[in-house]
Structure 1
Amino acid sequence: MSTRRQALLSAYWFAVSAHWTAILVVLLPAQAQQMGGDAFKGRTLGLVLLAGALVSMLVAPIAGALSDRLRSRLGRRRPFLIIGTLGNMIALLGLAYLAKPQMLGLYILAFMAVEFFNNIATAPYSALIPDVVPAGQRGSASGWMGLMTMLGNFLGGIMGLLLGSIGGIAGAYWLLAAILLIGMLITVFSTEEPPPPPLPLPPFAWRPFLRSLLDPFKSRDFTWVFWTRFLMVMGTFIVQEFLIYYLDDVVGAPFRIFGLSMNEAAEAVSLAILALLIGAIISSLVAGVVSDRFGRKKIVYFSGALQAVVVTVFLFAHSYPLAIAMGVVFGLGYGAYISVDWALATDVLPSMDDYARDMGVWHVALTLPQVIGAPIAGVLLDLGQAYGPGVGLPTLGYTLLFSLALLFFILGTVFVSRIKRAR
C-alpha cells in the first residue's frame, strides 16, 4: 500500500484528533468552569464527561457490528462515516451556545449527541484500516495514524491561542465542524473499500449481539491489550484533562517562557500541548515502523516509562518552563504509544469476520476511562483542593491526581508483558 494512500486513509484521524483535543483540553474545561465555578469545576467536568462516555461505550460496538453487516455501493464503513460526521457537526453547535449554568442539562445532552454521532463514524472507521491495509504494513499504517493524530492534536491544542481571532469559543466549534467535514470528504473519496467477506454474517439481533460483546475477551491476548490500553488512557486522560486547571491553580499566572508572558491558562495550556506534540510527532511515525521490525511491546515499555517520569516530576516541581520541557518528554512517550496502540490491537484481534465489532469493543478501553476516571478525578481534585489548605497542603488535589496517573502508567506498562501473541 503506497505511502500516499496510507496518509489519505488516516486523514479523518487528523480531523477527529483536532476535534477532541480542542474540546477536552481547552473548550470543555473552560466551559465547565463557567458553568460550575471554581469550587465545582472538577465535578462539573466529570459529570459532562461521564454522560458522554456512557453513550460512547454503548454506541461504538453497535455501530461497528452494524457496519460489518452493511452491504451498499459505498461499502460497509463509509456510509457510517458520512452520517456520523454530519450529525457530529450539528451537535457541536449545541456546545457552542449552551454553556450557561442554567442550561447545564441541555449542554450535557449536546455533548452526548457529539459522542453518539462521533462514534457512529469512528467505530466503523477504525475497522476500515484493517480492511484495506496488508498485515505486513500495519505498523507503518499505525504510524501514519499516529502522525495524523499528533498533527490533529497540534491543531486542536493551539485552539486556546486562536480564540481571540476566530470568534471565541463559539467560533472554535464552527471551525471544528469544518475540519471534520474536510477530513471526512478526503477519506471517503480517497479510499476504495474491498468487497465484504463472501459469507455474510447473520442478521443483527440484540441478544446474540450483547452476548457476542464478551467473545473477544475469550482471547487472553485481546483481554490484556484491552486492559493495558485502559490503564494507559486513564493516566493520559488525567494529565490531559486537568492540565489547564493545574497551570491556573498550581503554576499560576503570569506564564513566562522564551520572552513570552501570558496571563490566561487557556493560552498557557495551548503552548504546553504544542511542546507535547513536538515530542509526539518526532516519535509517532518512527515508532510505528520500528515496531514492525523489533516488536510492539518494546515501544510500549519505552512510552510508559517516559510518561511515568513526567507525572513524577509534576508531583514535586511547579514551574512553567519545566512543564513545557516535560511536555516534550511526555509527547515522546505518548506519540510512541499512539503509533503502535492500534497495530498491537490488530495483531491480536480474535475474529477476521468481526473486525468492526471487535474494534468497537477495543474502543471501549478509550471511553471507559472517562466513565470511571473523570468523575473520580473531578471529585478528588475538588475535595483535595478544599481540604488541603487546612492541613498545609494547598495543592493536595493535584498531588492526588498525578499520583493516580503515575500508578496507571506503571501498571499499563508492566501488564503489556502478559500479551503473548505480539512481540
Structure 2
Amino acid sequence: MKLNYKRTVLIGLAFLSISAFWQLYDNIIPLILQNTFGLGETFTGTIMALDNTLALFLLPLFGAFSDKVSTRMGKRTPFIITGTFIAVVFMMVIPYADQNKNFILFFISLGTVLVAMGLYRSPAVALMPDLTPKPLRSKANAIINLMGAVGGIFTLAMISFLIPKEITPNYSPIFFSVAALMVISIVILVLTISENKISKELKENNTMIEEETEEQKGEKSEMPKEVKKSLIFILASVFLWFTAYNAVTTAFSRYAVKVWNLHGGGFANALMVATGAAILSYIPIGIISSNIGRKKTIIAGIILMSISYFFGFLFIEYSPIINIVFAFTGIGWSAINVNSYPMVVEMSKSSDVGKYTGLYYTFSMSAQILTPILSGFLLENISYRTLFPYSVVFSLASLCTMLLVKHGDSRPPKKNTLENFDIDD
C-alpha cells in the first residue's frame, strides 16, 4: 500500500489556504488595531485571542456536524467552499474599513471572517484522514503540514514585498493576494478531489484496514496512574510552550515597530527565516528523535528556544543578525512540534486517539487565548521590552514540567523519514 502523494498535496491545499490566512491575521490585524484605531496592548491582545476562543467552540461543533452531512460533493467539501467564500468576501472589507477608520465595520468584518474560518477548518483537516487509509496517515499529515508552511511563507513574503514603509500603509494589496491564494487553492481542490468517489474506493479496497476490530472498540481499561501523571505533565508543557511562543508570534510585528522602529513589512523577514528553518529541520530532527528519543529532543528544543528568546531580548535595535536567532527559534519549535503530539497519542489506545487529540488542542488553544491578553497587558503597562523575558519564563517553566514526563517516548522505528513531519495541524 502506497500513499497517493499527488492526491495528498491537492487535499493539502485546504490547509495551505488556512495557514496563509492565519499568518496574515497574526501579523497585520494587531497593526491595524493599534496604528489605525489606537487600541492599547491589552485590548489588542483580547481581540487577537478571539480566534482561539471561537475555535474552542466552532472546531468541534462544525467538525461533528460535517461528520453527519451527506451531499453530492461529500461531507467536508461544502463546508470548505462555503467557509472560504464567506471569509474571502469579508476579508476584503477589512482593509477598506481600515482606510476609512471605521471600527464598527472592521470589527463586524473581522468577526465574520473568524467565524467563517472556524466553519471550515475542522472539515478541511478531517478531509485528509477521510481520504487516506489509516496506516498512511502519518505520511499524509506530513505533507499537509508542509503545505500549511508553504501558505504561511507565501503570506510572509507578500507582507515583505507589498507593505510600504509607512506608519499607516494601505493593506489592500496583501489582503487581496492572500484572498486570491485562498480562492485558487480551493478551486483547484474542488476540481481535482472527488470526495465521494475517493471515499467509496477506500471503503471497497481497504475495509479491513479502515475498520477497528471489536476488541479495539471494546478497550475500556483505565489509564495507569503513572501514565496519567505523565499525560498531565506533557499537557501542562504544551500549554506553557504555546504561551511562550504565541506571545512572540502575535506581538512581534508591533514589537518590531515600537522597539526597533522597523516600519513596513520588513519584520516578516525574520518570521520567514524561522518558518524556513523549521521546515528544513523536520527530517534531521526526526532522525535525531528516533535515535535519542522524543523527550530528549523536545527538551533540547525548549532549551534552544529559551536561549533564542533571551538573545532576542538583547537586541535594542534591528540587525540582520536577528535572523540567525529566529532560525534557531524555528529549529527549536520544530523539535517540539514534531515530537509532542505523538507523545500524547502514544499514551492513548487506538479507540481513544481522537479524545487525546482533542485534549492536545484544548491545551494549545487555551494558551493562545490567554497569552495575547496577558502579554499584551505587560506590553502596555510596563514595557514592550517585557515580550522576550515573558517568553523565556514560560519556556523554562515548560522545561520543568517536561522533565517530569516519564511515558510516551517509545514507538517503533519509522520506515520513512517523512513520517517525522507528523505534527500539529
The TM-score normalised by the length of structure 1 is 0.76
Q: Which residue of 1 aligns with 2:23?
A: 21
Maintained 8 Å contact 2:244/2:390 = no
Maintained 8 Å contact 2:293/2:409 = no
Q: Distance in 2 between matches of 1:411 and 1:86?
A: 45
SS of aligned partner of 1:99: helix
Quick check: 239-248 or 124-133, which moved more? Answer: 124-133
Identity, % of aligned positions: 19
Query: Over residues 33-74 of structure 1, what are the superposed CA-to-partner deviations in whole Å (9 max), with x where a residue is unaligned?
Result: 22343xx44224213213333222211110111112222333
Q: Which residue of 1 aligns with 2:251?
A: 242
Q: Distance in 2 between matches of 1:369 and 1:229?
A: 8
1:150 aligns with 2:149: yes
SS of aligned partner of 2:102: helix
SS of aligned partner of 1:168: coil
Query: How far off its partner does 1:176 sit?
Result: 1.5
Q: Which residue of 1 aligns with 2:240?
A: 231
Q: Which residue of 2 aligns with 1:173?
A: 175
Query: How far off its partner does 1:170 sit?
Result: 1.6
Amino acid across the alignment from 1:242: A
Amino acid across the alignment from 2:55: S
Q: Distance in 2 between matches of 1:362 and 1:304?
A: 18
Q: Which residue of 2 aligns with 1:3?
A: 5
SS of aligned partner of 1:98: helix
Query: Over residues 376-418 of structure 1, what are the superposed CA-to-partner deviations in whole Å (9 max), with x where a residue is unaligned?
Result: 1111111112xxxxxxxxx553355333443455357546655
Amino acid across the alignment from 2:199: P
Q: How does 1:208-219 map to 2 (within 5 A)?
A: none
Q: Distance in 2 between matches of 1:76 and 1:348?
A: 30
Decide whether aligned partners of structure 1 residues 183 and 298 sit closer, same or farther in structure 2, where only a CA change above 3 A counts: farther
Q: Distance in 2 between matches of 1:48 and 1:84?
A: 21
Q: Distance in 2 between matches of 1:101 and 1:404?
A: 40
Maintained 8 Å contact 1:301/1:413 = yes
Maintained 8 Å contact 1:34/1:100 = no
Q: Which residue of 1 aligns with 2:199?
A: 194
Quick check: 8-17 or 285-294, which moved more? Answer: 285-294
Q: Which residue of 2 aligns with 1:33?
A: 34
Q: Distance in 2 between matches of 1:18 and 1:85?
A: 12
Coordinate RMSD, CA, aligned: 3.7
Query: How far off its partner does 1:112 sit?
Result: 2.1
Maintained 8 Å contact 1:383/1:397 = no
Amino acid across the alignment from 1:235: A
Quick check: 299-308 or 123-132, which moved more? Answer: 299-308
Decide whether aligned partners of structure 1 residues 276 and 415 sit closer, same or farther in structure 2, where only a CA change above 3 A counts: farther
Amino acid across the alignment from 1:246: Y
Amino acid across the alignment from 2:17: A
Q: Which residue of 2 aligns with 1:128?
A: 127
Maintained 8 Å contact 1:140/1:285 = no
Q: Which residue of 1 aligns with 2:386?
A: 397
1:369 aligns with 2:367: yes
Query: Over residues 82-108 of structure 1, what are the superposed CA-to-partner deviations in whole Å (9 max), with x where a residue is unaligned?
Result: 211112112212322223796334423
The TM-score normalised by the length of structure 2 is 0.76
Query: How far off its partner does 1:307 sit?
Result: 1.8
Q: Which residue of 1 aligns with 2:420?
A: none
Q: Distance in 2 between matches of 1:132 and 1:300?
A: 31
Q: Distance in 2 between matches of 1:342 and 1:323?
A: 29
Query: How far off its partner does 1:279 sit?
Result: 0.6
Maintained 8 Å contact 2:306/2:391 = no
Maintained 8 Å contact 2:160/2:265 = yes
Maintained 8 Å contact 2:347/2:407 = no
Query: How far off its partner does 1:177 sit?
Result: 1.5
Decide whether aligned partners of structure 1 residues 234 and 283 sit closer, same or farther in structure 2, where only a CA change above 3 A counts: same
Q: Which residue of 1 aligns with 2:50?
A: 51
Amino acid across the alignment from 1:310: S
Q: Distance in 2 between matches of 1:135 and 1:287?
A: 24
Decide whether aligned partners of structure 1 residues 301 and 236 sit closer, same or farther in structure 2, where only a CA change above 3 A counts: same
Q: Distance in 2 between matches of 1:135 and 1:273?
A: 34
Q: Which residue of 2 aligns with 1:70?
A: 69
SS of aligned partner of 2:199: coil
Q: Which residue of 2 aligns with 1:388?
A: none
Query: How far off its partner does 1:329 sit?
Result: 0.8
Decide whether aligned partners of structure 1 residues 359 and 274 sit closer, same or farther in structure 2, where only a CA change above 3 A counts: same
SS of aligned partner of 2:171: helix
Query: Over residues 143-186 of structure 1, what are the superposed CA-to-partner deviations in whole Å (9 max), with x where a residue is unaligned?
Result: 22332222222111123322248x93122112211211222233
Q: Distance in 2 between matches of 1:361 and 1:101?
A: 42
Q: Which residue of 1 aligns with 2:281?
A: 283
Maintained 8 Å contact 2:132/2:140 = yes
How many pairs does the alignment contain? 381
Query: How far off its partner does 1:232 sit?
Result: 2.9
Maintained 8 Å contact 1:140/1:289 = no
Unaligned runs of 5+ in 2: 208-222, 413-425
Q: Distance in 2 between matches of 1:400 and 1:112?
A: 31
Query: How far off its partner does 1:226 sit?
Result: 5.1
SS of aligned partner of 1:73: coil
Q: Distance in 2 between matches of 1:10 and 1:125?
A: 9
